[in-house]
Amino acid sequence: MTDLPWLTILGLVPLVGALVVAALPSGRDALAKTVALAVSLVVLALTIVMCAAFEPGGDRFQFVQAYDWIPAFGVQYAVGADGVALVLIALTAVLVPVVVLASWYDADPSADPLRRVAGTAASATAGASGSASSRRVGGGTAVLDPPQPAFAEPVDSLPPRRSVKTFFALLLLLETMMIGVFAATDVFLFYVFFEAMLIPMYFLIGSYGGPRRSYAAMKFLLYSLFGGLLMLAAVIGLYVVSADAGEGTFAFERLVGLEMSTGVEIALFSGFFIAFAIKAPLFPFHTWLPDAGAESPVGGAVLLVGVLDKVGTFGFLRYCLPLFPEASRILGPYVIALCVIGILYGALLAMGQKDLKRLVSYTSVAHFGFIGMGVFAFTTQGQTGAVLYMVNHGLSTGALFLVVGFLIVRGRSRSIPDYSGVANVAPVLAGTFLVAGLSSLALPGLSTFVSEFLVLVGTYPRYPVAAVLAAIGVILAALYVLLMYQRTMQGPLRLPALLGDRMPDLRGREVLAVAPLLALMVVLGIYPKPLTDVINPAVEATMQDIGQSDPAPTAADGAED
């Protein structure tokens, strides 16, 4: 089974599915959704079989294929998966069917029974109150209705209907690009997928997002293209250096160990690093994420922070460190400093947010600080924790975005002050919100705790001050998550005016979408060994590439006999 072209198959299946969905006749919305869900489940099943065939003790890269693509420039269609790529491909395969289920009505909100009920309630409220902006309460005192915040949908109209088949075709096309970017072992092929995956995400944000979708989509695209141009220059420079050394190539394994001067190495490292730091996003390159995360449709936001942003941290580990080991050692302390600032800065900004989706987006800035710190700690524990964090962040923040999206669909508002006491009327929604939030703050027993612990333990031997400051971010995470939960789910019941006291709980489809993520959080929190067994050999190979070993433990004074 290892001889099968697994990675090519995994990339082609969603691509063919996207073409089939796009070719369906107009008006066949239910069929488009069903086909998209079926295709994503096929990809998940194939991924599970591929993962079972992977040998943790075998070759570093498995399921390898290499064919000449542009022979004149040494460009190949070359794919392969080590342990790091494998777990991120598996994360992609898990999240896409979850997103398809959760996004069932995102392109056509008018078809959602919850939206129709809300729209009817809003119309009835408007008819009863007329055009007055005040209502009479006991004793005849007039109380003005509070103005709708900028991030609330109009209560008297439903969002516009958009092409359903295009939405789900874009999700499948994005899945192809995400699998390709993790599987590529040719640097030029990686760059092609790195840039191509911007296209479906740009249209998902710009065509299906919130009120400021055009601004958010353009900001996302411009930031990403700027980073991509720097990376392209570095890719070309890498080819020139390899050509000067004897043979121009883009093959990853041939580029590892390539000799170059320190100045050239720092310059090429910088091109890759900035592109990946923007994608991650790492402070101070993060400013596009709160807008893109807040204005994306919920399914798009899940894939954006759950998978696309991991391409940046994956790039740090796969390309920056092995290809430019000297530059990584020289600039590593500065990157660690940026990561610590990002952890604290993201957490503090999250605490001050009133927009639910922006709050979750800022939490990701803090989480990516932990991931980047683990990568540049240059220890096996730190890097293993960083890769594990990539997976666990996709699960916990993906679930958090989903539950926030379910809440917004019901209340038609992203404003935290519009909600209170939701647990009184929607206990299942509140329970899933709590579990996802606790995982996000790294509660022991849930998956994120294991990865965060490994990152801190792996960072401390080399950068003890950074590890201690980052630990403060753990406390801040507890504050912003628990405060968000308390303000929206606990206390006296207060819901947006169009709902009264009638907020429906999660439906079966929504429970089915979020349940696998919650289950994986618990399972990987208790037993992460299946993932760490796959990740460790790839991390050890990276440590060998950069000529680093774990620092020797030191005994405390007076501990010796």
* Inter-CA distances, 192 with 11, 196, 226, 269, Å: 14, 6, 15, 19
Q: What is the DSSP letter of 71?
A: G
524-537 per-position pLDDT tens digit = 999 999 999 999 99
Residue 554 confidence (pLDDT)? 63
Residue 375 confidence (pLDDT)? 93
Contact (CB, 8 A) for 397 and 471: no
Residue 545 confidence (pLDDT)? 85
Q: Give the burial class of 348: count Cβ atoms within 10 A of its Cβ; 0-12 exposed, 13-18 middle, 19 or more buried.
A: middle
Q: Which conformational region is residue 139 in: left (phi greater than 0), alpha (psi within -120 to 50 degrees), or beta?
A: left
Q: Give the burial class of 408: count Cβ atoms within 10 A of its Cβ; 0-12 exposed, 13-18 middle, 19 or more buried.
A: buried
325 vs 320: CA distance, rounded Å: 7
Contacts of 82 by beta carbon, 8 Å cutoff, 6+ apart: 60, 61, 62, 537, 538, 541
Of 303, 419, 437, the C-alpha closest to 355 is 419
Instruction: Examine the pLDDT at 131 and tell me if it is beyond 60.
Output: no
pLDDT average, residue stretch 444-454? 91
According to the per-residue pLDDT averaged within each range, which of 84-88, 350-354, 503-507 is highest? 84-88
Contact (CB, 8 A) for 152 and 413: yes
Locate tokens 């079926």: which residue? 38
Residue 380 confidence (pLDDT)? 92
pLDDT average, residue stretch 439-459? 91
Q: Are strands 62-70 and 134-137 parallel, antiparallel or unpaired?
A: unpaired
Of 385, 377, 372, 336, the C-alpha closest to 87 is 385
List, in sequence order, the alpha helices (H) in 209-317. Answer: 213-244, 252-255, 262-279, 288-295, 298-303, 310-315
pLDDT average, residue stretch 247-262? 87
* Torsion sign (Cα): 350, 356, 357, 358: negative
Percent of the chain with pLDDT over 70: 88
Residue 128 confidence (pLDDT)? 39
Give the Cα-Cα-Cα angle 193, 390, 362 (nearest 5 degrees). 95
Residue 178's pLDDT band (boundaries 50, 70, 90)?
A: very high
pLDDT average, residue stretch 371-391? 93
Contacts of 112 by beta carbon, 8 Å cutoff, 6+ apart: 104, 105, 409
Quick one: tokens of 130?
Answer: 């007329």
Quick one: tokens of 183?
Answer: 């599987």
Residue 12 confidence (pLDDT)? 95
Q: What is the DSSP letter of 420?
A: B
Contact (CB, 8 A) for 324 and 265: yes
81 vs 449: CA distance, rounded Å: 26
Residue 553's pLDDT band (boundaries 50, 70, 90)?
A: low
112 vs 104: CA distance, rounded Å: 9
pLDDT average, residue stretch 7-16? 94
pLDDT average, residue stretch 290-311? 88
Q: What is the DSSP letter of 320?
A: I
Residue 52 confidence (pLDDT)? 92
The average confidence (pLDDT) of the chain is 85
Percent of the chain with pLDDT over 90: 51
Instruction: Examine the pLDDT at 557 and tell me if it is beyond 70.
Output: no
CA 396, chain centre distance (Å): 10
pLDDT average, residue stretch 300-325? 91
Residue 158's pLDDT band (boundaries 50, 70, 90)?
A: very low
Q: Is 79 helix (H, G, I), strand (E, B) or coil?
A: strand
500 vs 495: CA distance, rounded Å: 6
The amino acid occupying position 181 is V
Contact (CB, 8 A) for 373 and 339: yes
pLDDT average, residue stretch 212-223? 90
Residue 500 confidence (pLDDT)? 57
Instruction: Examine the pLDDT at 127 and tell me if it is beyond 70.
Output: no
DSSP secondary structure of 480-537: HHHHHHHHHHSSS-B--TTTTT------HHHHHHHHHHHHHHHHHHH--HHHHHHHHH
The amino acid occupying position 18 is A
* Inter-CA distances, 199 with 206, 235, 412, Å: 11, 21, 28
Q: Comparing 255-259, 323-327, 331-335, which segment has the lowest mean pLDDT?
A: 255-259
Residue 48's pLDDT band (boundaries 50, 70, 90)?
A: very high
389-400 per-position pLDDT tens digit = 999 999 999 999
Quick one: tokens of 6?
Answer: 């697994």
pLDDT average, residue stretch 330-340? 93
Q: Comparing 15-24, 87-96, 110-119, 304-313, which segment has the lowest mean pLDDT?
A: 110-119
Residue 147 confidence (pLDDT)? 42
Quick one: tokens of 325?
Answer: 């080991």
Q: Is 283 helix (H, G, I), strand (E, B) or coil?
A: coil
- With b for 16 or more beta-carbon neighbours within 10 A and e for fewer, the 409-426 pattern comes to bbbbbbbbebbbbbbbbb
Question: Could you tell me the residue ranges of all domains in the chain?
Answer: 6-117+149-545
- With b for 16 or more beta-carbon neighbours within 10 A and e for fewer, the 440-475 pattern comes to bbbbeebbbbbbbbbbbbbbbbbbeebbebbeebbe
Q: What is the DSSP letter of 158?
A: P
Instruction: Examine the pLDDT at 286 and tell me if it is beyond 90.
Output: no
86 vs 62: CA distance, rounded Å: 10
Contact (CB, 8 A) for 289 and 275: no
Instruction: Examine the pLDDT at 122 and tell me if it is beyond 70.
Output: no
Instruction: Examine the pLDDT at 155 and tell me if it is beyond 50.
Output: no
Give the predicted TM-score (pTM) of the model. Answer: 0.88
CA 26, chain centre distance (Å): 32
Q: Comparing 153-167, 168-182, 487-501, which segment has the lowest mean pLDDT?
A: 153-167
Residues facing residue 143 across a β-bridge = 135
377 vs 187: CA distance, rounded Å: 24
- 529-545 vs 83-102: helix crossing angle, rounded to 10: 130
Of 379, 513, 376, 522, the C-alpha closest to 449 is 522
Torsion angle of C-alpha atoms 211, 213, 215, 216, degrees rounded to 10: 120
pLDDT average, residue stretch 79-104? 93
Instruction: Examine the pLDDT at 549 and tell me if it is beyond 60.
Output: yes
